Structure 1
Amino acid sequence: MRSTEDTVLPTRERIREAAVARFGRDGFSAGLRTIATDAGVTAGLVIHHFGSKEGLRRECDAYVLGVIRAEKIRTATSGTATGMLAQLAEIEQYGPLALYAVRSLQAGGQLATDFVAQMIRDAEAYLAAGVEAGTIRPSRDPVGRARYLTFQGMGSLMLWISLHPEMVTVDDFRSALREISDQITLPALELFTQGLFVDRTMLDAYLMHVPDPPGDPAVP
């Protein structure tokens, strides 16, 4: 998210950023008048730009998903540690987006279902981009892998929030995201890079157990 301290944002963008922060802080029960006040505009102007609260939320969804997708593609295809380290150094800036994503899942309903489905499709796309770039191993089940990583990532965030409800504000969650990152980055990279099991005994046993197992993925 860009800082409004250094840049005067266009009205539509300012409303959207205010909505992402407010929905993350209070959930989707937050009213348009509150969001308008946060953005320094009238509620009528919010309606003018987005049509309704649902329209505003859909645009927030698209924005949050777009930022996540772009950052994941950049990391997955870079092939170097530089991009990853730069992203980790600035992890706090993604606090409002991460909190918004969790609120979307907590809210449930069709919009939440659509949000998660799009996250999985995006994960499949950036993993495929990494495979094509030669930075990620191919998978027997690309869709299943994308689904697992999405569930794993969002599930970790939701569990952490349930254990630390006092940290669930936009400002505090910037610090929280730093803390979460510090706790999980090393074990995650170790697992993703070196693996967990010393051989493929369990994988081979499972592949023999399931009907019509997929073959080994082709390396590009």
Structure 2
Amino acid sequence: MRSAPADSTTRERIRDAAVLRFARDGFGASIRSIATDAGVSPALVIHHFGSKDELHAECDEQVLAEIRKAKNESIDELAAGQSILHRFAATDEYAPLLGYVLRSLQDGGPVGRSFIEQMVEDAIGYTKHGVDAGLVKPSLDEAARARYLVLSALGTLMLELTLNPQEDPSDISGLVRGFLMTSYLPMLELYSEGFFTNRRMLDEYLLYVPDPPQDAATEPPSE
């Protein structure tokens, strides 16, 4: 979560403090702890949001909006021939967003599932943006690919945390740095170069799909 500007409203300051606190401690974090982080009274938090559930919902909206914005900005920068290395270096800036997503995944329940499903819907949009910009190859099923990419990324993050737990679970920046250090190279390699040397397995699979995507039949088989 980017630092709130000096002239941000009290409501924004509370919301941003809540995102960070939820990312560190999970959604069991108290209104009092969030109020302390924001430098306000618990009563003022309730005045602005009514309940912790309403605060949680607004945090969801903000985190999703930040992720969409970052993804689309990266696509625009790449399409313009600009480097996005500065985004790789901005671990501390984006760590609360990733931590918040992780907590939503761990929390489960209707709210957590709804949050993840919205991430998938957003991914369909910014993946299409990448296709339109000529940076991403089209898919036979764009929605299915976006869903797979989101769930794969979240599953990898969850397993990393499970297999290599942090000594300090509230150290979101440390968690993100450790995850990205081991993930960036294979992730970028797979996305940039692919894994198989030809599409033989895909072509064979499509022969057995009862109702393949519309343009699958137009794809020539690999040599």
Give 1:182 shift.
2.0
Aligned counterparts of 1:163 and 1:30: Cα–Cα separation in 2: 24
Shift in CA distance, 30/147, structure 1 to aligned 2, threshold 3 Å: same
Aligned counterparts of 1:191 and 1:27: Cα–Cα separation in 2: 32
Partner of 1:148 in structure 2? 148
CA contact (8 A) 1:139 1:217 kept: no
| Structure 2 runs not aligned, ≥5 long | 219-223
Letter in 1 for 2:101: A
2:37 paired with 1:41: no
What TM-score do you get using the length of structure 1 for normalisation? 0.91
Cα deviation, 1:101-158, whole Å, max 9, x if unaligned, reads 1111111111111101110010000000111111111110000011001001111111
Cα deviation, 1:181-220, whole Å, max 9, x if unaligned, reads 22111111111111111111100010001101112499xx
Give 1:55 shift.
0.4
Structure 2 SS opposite 1:9: coil
Give 1:3 shift.
2.6
Give 1:27 shift.
1.1
Aligned pairs (5 A) from 1:51-200: 51-77=50-76, 78-79=78-79, 82-167=82-167, 169-170=169-170, 172-200=171-199
| Structure 1 runs not aligned, ≥5 long | none
Shift in CA distance, 30/138, structure 1 to aligned 2, threshold 3 Å: same
Identity across matched positions, percent: 47
Aligned counterparts of 2:153 and 2:217: Cα–Cα separation in 1: 24
Letter in 1 for 2:15: R
Shift in CA distance, 12/83, structure 1 to aligned 2, threshold 3 Å: farther
Aligned counterparts of 2:206 and 2:131: Cα–Cα separation in 1: 22
Aligned counterparts of 1:31 and 1:53: Cα–Cα separation in 2: 8
| Aligned residue-pair number | 217
Aligned counterparts of 1:84 and 1:188: Cα–Cα separation in 2: 15
CA contact (8 A) 2:19 2:59 kept: yes
